[in-house]
Amino acid sequence: MSGIANSPEQSSAAGPPREGKGPVLVVDYGAQYAQLIARRVRETQIYSEVVPHDTPVEEIVRRDPAALVLSGGPASVYAEDAPQVDPALFEAGVPVFGICYGFQVMTVALGGTVEHTGTREFGRTELEITGDGGTLHEDLPGHHPVWMSHGDSVSKAPEGFTVTAGSKDTPVAAYEDRRRRLAGVQYHPEVVHSPHGQEVLRRFLQDIAGIKPQWTTASIVDDTVEAIRAQVGDRRAICGLSGGVDSAVAGALVQRAIGEQLTCVFVDHGLLRAGERAQVERDFVAATGVKLVTVDAVDQFLDALAGVTDPEEKRKIIGREFIRSFEKAARDLVADADGDVDFLVQGTLYPDVVESGGGTGAANIKSHHNVGGLPDDLQFQLVEPLRALFKDEVRRVGLELGLPETIVHRQPFPGPGLGIRIIGEVTADRLTTLRAADAIAREELTAAGLDRDIWQCPVVLLADVRSVGVQGDGRTYGHPVVLRPVSSEDAMTADWTRLPYDVLERISTRITNEVAEVNRVTLDVTSKPPGTIEWE
């Protein structure tokens, strides 16, 4: 989108109301919270997707959106290269909600005024409701906290809008035009620091935009099963199970869709945590009745990883060897029955796509074996039934499909496994060391009843680092391990979990006593951003 409307005459008109049957589109202006906005929309049982800010109006209209949400962003609306909004967007009859920067570009495009006031608002700010508060803020407390993050401010609302809230330094912090189904707020309703924000977002979607909440877990399953059947038809598919939640739910969905046409392949690459192979072979098969083939490939993976220390290269090697294992399993299947195996099922999630550079302007934070590490000569067509879902949505789908709690609510585990939790070369001895330390940490967290309080707790082995220690009255020169307990809703952002000191003490004591190669346990207290959850 490009261009600014500088006069009310140019953009005050609006087309006839549209009753879009497509998703709510979150237009991303570079906000760190764009994915969170989409997730909050989904929490109102309305489906949403994120699109880049330079998507042409024609393309947006073609998608027949139920509404648009213009996200925040780091730019000033008056910066030379700042992203803008095409005024034609407001003539298409689509309901629009502007947030922060989106609120400001919406204001300018519709003929209002945004100014450099010299006063900035960052963080917790007191919002004051004006008049009856309009649809968005009616009956909410007259003064309540919101989360602000802006330098410029709206000083004059566009013609036809009613101002419904302000703050000490921002006279126009919210406005709405019910007739044209347009509204906006200067603050961030999507973050938990705006306690009434989710209700404000719901009111826009349901009361102003008129969207019915119909996107439920049951509907996700039904729609996805239908889409899988349409894609696969009467052909055959293979699913690579990693032992994690994502591949298990993806496999269960495809199993429900095509039944005996699916064979699941579990590759034991030697990068698994303790007990994972047995859990997959026992619990997953019992819950789904799926055909399962287990491939022993430990030596294959260790040989391919020998001497490799670069994390991106490790990820790509592991992804490549996964695919080669699947291809061999598929050839074996073809040899045993008539017909080729044409499809590969993967548990790719929305955050995987975003973090692997899956959208315009998205940074390639890391490659993911489900997205960025596949070989160019891949012999399968991909089936990715979870590609549009966040992790919490995947868990709900898993329960809807009847998967056991032990699978659905287990801690997330990366596809490349322990291979990316060893800083340095991956060897059999180092895997044994890390597997033992990881098992102790998981046992103690479970014993303390903390499994649901943390998102996951990676244990990282600093294999290329040694530290001096004293064990058994003697000097040691062992490896440190890092505990990385984090809390998150969807892995897009995360904070380190404040575990009780007595739990940390038990974990540390047991690891240093029971794992001979480790003489130091450290704690990672970095949030995401700036750090990622995994170290590699």
Among 43, 190, 355, 444, the active-site one is 190
For residue 495, count other CB atoms closer than 10 A to its CB: 14
Cα–Cα distance measured from residue 26 to residue 40, given in angstroms and rounded to the nearest whole number: 11
359 and 353 Cβ atoms separated by less than 8 Å: yes
For residue 516, count other CB atoms closer than 10 A to its CB: 12
237 and 345 Cβ atoms separated by less than 8 Å: yes
Query: Of 165, 170, 126, 166, nearest to 145 (Cα)?
Result: 126
DSSP line for 463-474: TT--EEEEETTE
Whether residue 457 lies in the annotated active site: no
32 and 188 Cβ atoms separated by less than 8 Å: no
Q: Return the ∠ at Cα 70 (arms to 65 and 73), rounded to 5°.
A: 150
> What's the burial of 3, exposed, middle or buried (CB within 10 Å: 0-12/13-18/19+)?
exposed
The DSSP bridge pattern shows strands 467-471 and 495-496 to be unpaired
Cα distances from 189 to residues 106, 120, 137, 258, in angstroms, run 17, 18, 12, 41
Whether residue 100 lies in the annotated active site: yes
For residue 320, count other CB atoms closer than 10 A to its CB: 16
The helix/strand/coil state of 397 is helix
The helix/strand/coil state of 35 is helix
271 and 419 Cβ atoms separated by less than 8 Å: yes
Work out the angle between the directed axes of helices 428-447 and 501-514 (0-180°, nearest 10). Answer: 150
DSSP E strands in 208-290: the ranges are: 236-241, 262-268
Among 53, 188, 368, 479, the active-site one is 188
DSSP H stretches of helix in 273-345? 276-279, 285-288, 298-305, 311-336
Token pair 């998102």 is found at 455
> Which contacts qualify for 278-281: CB closer than 8 Å, 24 or more apart?
279/243, 279/406, 279/407, 280/241, 280/243, 280/248
Cα–Cα distance measured from residue 404 to residue 252, given in angstroms and rounded to the nearest whole number: 12
Token output for 118: 């010299």
Whether residue 239 lies in the annotated active site: no
137 and 200 Cβ atoms separated by less than 8 Å: yes
Among 100, 239, 264, 457, the active-site one is 100
Cα–Cα distance measured from residue 352 to residue 371, given in angstroms and rounded to the nearest whole number: 7
Which secondary structure element, helix H or strand E, spans residue 125, and what is its range?
A: strand 121-129
The DSSP bridge pattern shows strands 174-177 and 113-115 to be unpaired
Residues labelled as active-site residues: 100, 188, 190
